[in-house]
Amino acid sequence: MPFTYLPVLVMIGLATAMAIGALFMSFIFRPRNPYREKLSPWECGMEPVGEANRGHFRVHFFIIAILFIVFDVETLFLFPWATILTEKGLSMFVFVEMIIFIAVLALGLIYAWVKGALEWV
């Protein structure tokens, strides 16, 4: 019985060894030339406001990222919905539920748009 898990353990061992090897090789061969501009915080091409370690930063990039994740998750829910919709008996219920889901996310998008969260300053 324990030998049936041997291929899984070998794959886990190989994946771990490759990850550690990649980290070790990048540590060995990385360029070592730190300077002030390279070590300064960088916020998606914008000049940082204050010190990043003190908590002074622009949250606009993070709002855009959160909106992207929300609508990316919506896309992930739409793929299974498209396959389940073809089954008999579930089609109208599943269709109405997904329309409600899309409507709630559309209201969130409209709210973010009205508040100016999608404007890149």
Domain residue limits, the chain = 44-115
Instruction: Between 60 and 21, name the one with better pLDDT.
Output: 21
Q: In the chain, what is the straight-line distance between the N-terminal and C-terminal CA atoms, in Å?
A: 61
- Report, as an integer, the average pLDDT of 24-37: 87
Say whether pLDDT at 19 is over 60. yes
pLDDT in the model for residue 45: 61
CA-to-CA distance for 72 and 41, rounded, in angstroms?
A: 27
Q: Which of 10-19, 75-84, 94-103 has the lowest mean pLDDT?
A: 75-84
pLDDT tens for 106-116 read 888 888 888 88
- Residue in 110, 112, 80 with CA at minimum distance from that of residue 97: 80
